[in-house]
Amino acid sequence: MSDWLSPQEWTAVRLSLVVATTAMLASLLPGLAVAWLLARGRFWGKSLLDALIHLPLIMPPVVTGYLLLIGFGRRGPIGQVLDDWFGIVLSFRWTGAALACAVMGFPLLVRAIRLSIEAIDRKLEDAAGTLGAGPFWVFLTVTLPLALPGILAGMILCFAKAMGEFGATITFVSNIPGETQTLPSAIYTLTQVPDGDAGAMRLTLISIAISVAALLASELLARLVGRRLPVA
């Protein structure tokens, strides 16, 4: 396979997989928490939180990337704290690419999980309570397993979004081969150079293959989970 792809193309594929997987896994727990809050919580500012979460979905990705650059850049208010206190630098690093992808995929993840939590019959949670389960155990043994199909769907959506993320990533962390050049950035670069067509086509095919594989994996997982659940 490495004969077929140039080392630079191969690096872009690997980097994209790492970035997308990191983005998906890192946003899972906060995504669950926010989805649960939006589905079940009753608090002041709920619609504000909802709007904030959905902002990356409706804003131009370049705007999101630029805001990330302002906030998380080395001189940005958050970036400076992270650098001074934890030695974490995000700008122009692959971790920054993962952050940009996570922010862009977050609304899709939260939406899918939130809908599946809202669809759960709360009477089942009441029943678990009368059997002695406290709120945390009810969530872990009833809410979470019943929301699993939605969680899987959200994860796949988030992963797919991260694989394809371009605008916010290139604005925030630029297009550095080996560090921040993900699949879409690499394809874009190849289309800008003479004789890059063949390489762009190879990466395009790989991109399609990864997307289809992710979709099939989610179908398979959903079916495995669905076997335990009543037919909806």
Closest contact distance (angstroms) between CB of 146 and another protein is 6
Q: With CB under 8 A, what is the number of residues at the site for another protein? A: 22
Residue of 124, 209, 215, 224 interacting with another protein (CB under 8 A): 124
For residue 148, give both structure tokens: 């699993």
Helices (H), the chain: 7-40, 46-58, 61-72, 77-81, 94-118, 122-130, 135-138, 144-164, 167-173, 183-191, 197-226
Does 224 contact another protein by CB under 8 A? no
Is residue 164 within 8 A of residue 1, CB to CB? The reply is no
Instruction: Note the Cα 195 to chain centre separation in Å.
Output: 33
Q: Please say which residue, 129 or 177, places its beta carbon nearer to another protein.
A: 129
**Could you give the string, one character per residue 146-185, with x where binding to another protein holds by CB under 8 A and - elsewhere?**
x---------------------------------------
Does 129 contact another protein by CB under 8 A? yes
Does 122 contact another protein by CB under 8 A? no
Does 33 contact another protein by CB under 8 A? no
Does 130 contact another protein by CB under 8 A? yes
Count of CB atoms situated within 10 Å of the CB of 118: 14
Residue of 25, 49, 133, 221 interacting with another protein (CB under 8 A): 133
Does 196 contact another protein by CB under 8 A? no
Does 119 contact another protein by CB under 8 A? no
Is residue 20 within 8 A of residue 159, CB to CB? The reply is yes
Q: Roughly what angle, to the nearest 10 degrees, separates helices 7-40 and 144-164? A: 140
Does 126 contact another protein by CB under 8 A? yes
Does 132 contact another protein by CB under 8 A? yes
Does 45 contact another protein by CB under 8 A? no
Count of CB atoms situated within 10 Å of the CB of 185: 23
Does 229 contact another protein by CB under 8 A? yes
| CA geometry: angle 169, 170, 175, nearest 5 deg | 120
Distance in angstroms (rounded) separating the CA atoms of residues 231 and 146: 13
- 225: Cβ–Cβ under 8 A, 6 or more apart, which residues? 148, 149, 152
Stretch near another protein under the rule CB under 8 A, chosen from 70-78, 135-143, 174-182, 192-200? 135-143
What residue ranges bind another protein (CB under 8 A)?
Answer: 123-124, 126-135, 137-138, 141-142, 145-146, 228-231
